[in-house]
Amino acid sequence: MGINLGDVVIEEDDIYGDGVNVAARLEALAEPGGICMSRSAYEQVRDKLDLNFVDIGEVAVKNIGRPIRVFKIGMDQKADNLSTPVAPPVPATMMGQRVRATIGLALLTVFLSGVGLWYSPISVRTDLPVPLP
């Protein structure tokens, strides 16, 4: 796995950008089942996670104009203690369908509420006592 903090562009069912490109290069550097991360990601988690980080150094990777400082997470007992089962990912197409369905339902609710208010009769109570002066 490769982890990086950087710019990501999302268009429909596609993601790209410098953040994605660097993460893909880091993934290629990782051992099977291992994790490599960029310096930006490492600086965010180094004092928050009790893991053994190994500084691999500056690495030149394909299609990235500058070397990347790479850190590897030691896959030892500390890493095993932090691991939790992960639910299978939701496909991007299903996520898009859920978002569209939720937005559609919200718009339908607003529309029907407006129609109900528009057609609801307005009544004036005439049986109230009139105050005497």
Q: pLDDT digit string (tens) for 2-56?
A: 888 888 888 888 887 888 888 888 898 888 888 889 998 888 888 888 788 889 9
- Measured on CA atoms in the order 61, 62, 64, 65, is the torsion positive or negative? positive
Going by C-alpha positions, the residue among 28, 7, 4 that lies closest to residue 17 is: 7
pLDDT digits (tens, 9 = 90+) for 72-119: 887 766 666 666 656 666 666 666 777 788 888 888 888 787 777 767
Going by C-alpha positions, the residue among 54, 57, 53, 68 that lies closest to residue 21 is: 68
pTM of the model as a whole: 0.54
Q: DSSP assignment, residue 77?
A: H
Bridge partners of residue 54, in order along the sequence = 72
